[in-house]
């Protein structure tokens, strides 16, 4: 009898736990939120048992990032630093992005450089004033303002620059970092299934419960026309981030060979060079690093990027380039290729 009672109790416990599990799963709801921030749009999908004020949290995250690193705000910390204020004590967000930028700068041998803005503007590739004359004398004067090694984060969390006119810009990495902040917030609310997208950069965890599959995301065809949405590939994104960089909408075509190319700035020489690398999509554990390396590979070009990828751990890439006949070609690391959906 005692054995039968034990079995009955175990069976009852199992059924009770199963019912609790079913009730728990049935209580999970899907939430979608969209909006505009950081000069672009965002879209967030997540599953949660309990509703919480995600909009308020997002507003706070976006405000903190803008107050720290927005070059469009004259009173942000980075704008004050760019204006020559050496007394600004930067916050944790600024420090996190600065240290990651320094890491990528060193590993890429300087091809990722948040001080390159002066050169970008000089060539007319950026929002700033283009130099009418860019001879060797003018180029040398601008090059003196480029080099992340000329900028230092001090022990008292202020920024020291070798030249007061050095211009810092974290736009190539701050968007990815913002996605990481959103992901961390969702996880603090016990959310284990989400997809965060901001300006085309992404971070995912868990799965799309409605479809009972991992999150699926697309990679744009670099030859698509303005206003089109043509996918080159779709991938399974799970428990990591993806960022894509490419100025292929501004690519030029050789009138003789038909090869497509873009101009990238070589931070070593200060000169704008032709590059046949049209797009770089990068997978990494955090979107900050995915974002930073996507920009890095565009600056390095195809061959240098392939060499760097051999040395990086936890970073996978899908690089699209134009061959000598103007046809689209793809280089994908084995780890990235594993995520591509048929």
33 is annotated as contributing to ligand binding: no
3-state secondary structure of 17: helix
Query: Helix or strand or coil: residue 110?
Result: coil
Positive/negative CA dihedral, 134, 137, 142, 146: positive
- Given a contact cutoff of 8 angstroms between Cβ atoms, the answer to whether 276 and 261 are in contact is yes
257 belongs to an annotated ligand binding site? no
222: left (phi over 0), alpha (psi -120 to 50) or beta: alpha
Note whether 289 and 243 are within 8 A (CB).
no
Mode of pairing for the β-strands spanning 29-37 and 40-48: antiparallel
* Long-range contacts (CB closer than 8 Å, 24 or more residues apart) made by 76-81: 78/168, 78/169, 78/170, 81/159, 81/161, 81/168
Q: What is the DSSP letter of 148?
A: G
Distances (CA, A) of 81 to 61, 76, 138, 155: 21, 9, 24, 16
In SS3 terms, 295-309 reads as: HHHHHHCHHHHHHHH
Confirm or deny that 77 is annotated as ligand binding.
no
Rounded to the nearest 10 degrees, the angle between the axes of helix 92-107 and helix 287-300 is 40
- Please give the annotated binding residues, written as ranges: 172, 291, 295
- Please give the annotated binding residues for Mg(2+), written as ranges: 172, 291, 295
């Amino acid at each position: 009898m005692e054995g039968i009672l034990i079995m009955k109790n175990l069976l009852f416990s199992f059924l009770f736990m199963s019912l609790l599990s079913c009730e728990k799963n049935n209580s999970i709801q899907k939430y979608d939120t969209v909006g505009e921030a950081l000069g672009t749009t965002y879209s967030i999908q997540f599953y949660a048992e309990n509703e919480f004020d995600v909009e308020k949290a997002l507003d706070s995250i976006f405000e903190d990032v803008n107050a720290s690193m927005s070059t469009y705000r004259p009173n942000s910390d980075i704008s004050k630093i760019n204006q020559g204020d050496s007394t600004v004590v930067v916050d944790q967000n600024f420090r996190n992005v600065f240290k990651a930028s320094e890491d990528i700068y060193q590993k890429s041998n300087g091809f990722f450089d948040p001080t390159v803005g002066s050169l970008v503007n000089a060539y007319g590739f950026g929002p700033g004033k283009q130099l009418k004359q860019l001879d060797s004398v003018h180029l040398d004067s601008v090059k003196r303002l480029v080099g992340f090694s000329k900028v230092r984060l001090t022990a008292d969390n202020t920024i020291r620059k070798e030249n007061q006119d050095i211009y810092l810009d974290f736009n190539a990495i701050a968007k990815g970092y913002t996605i990481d902040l959103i992901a961390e917030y969702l996880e603090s609310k016990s959310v284990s299934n989400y997809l965060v997208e901001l300006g085309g950069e992404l971070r995912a965890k868990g799965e799309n419960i409605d479809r009972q599959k991992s999150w699926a995301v697309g990679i744009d065809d670099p030859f698509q026309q303005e206003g089109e949405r043509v996918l080159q590939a779709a991938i399974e994104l799970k428990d990591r981030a993806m960022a894509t960089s490419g100025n292929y909408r501004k690519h030029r075509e050789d009138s003789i060979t038909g090869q497509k190319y873009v101009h990238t700035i070589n931070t070593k020489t200060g000169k704008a060079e032709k590059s046949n690398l049209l797009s770089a999509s990068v997978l990494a554990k955090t979107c900050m690093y995915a974002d930073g390396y996507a920009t890095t590979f565009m600056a390095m070009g195809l061959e240098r990027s392939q060499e760097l990828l051999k040395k990086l751990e936890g970073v996978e890439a899908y690089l699209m380039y134009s061959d000598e006949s103007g046809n689209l070609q793809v280089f994908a690391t084995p780890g990235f290729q594993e995520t591509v959906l048929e």
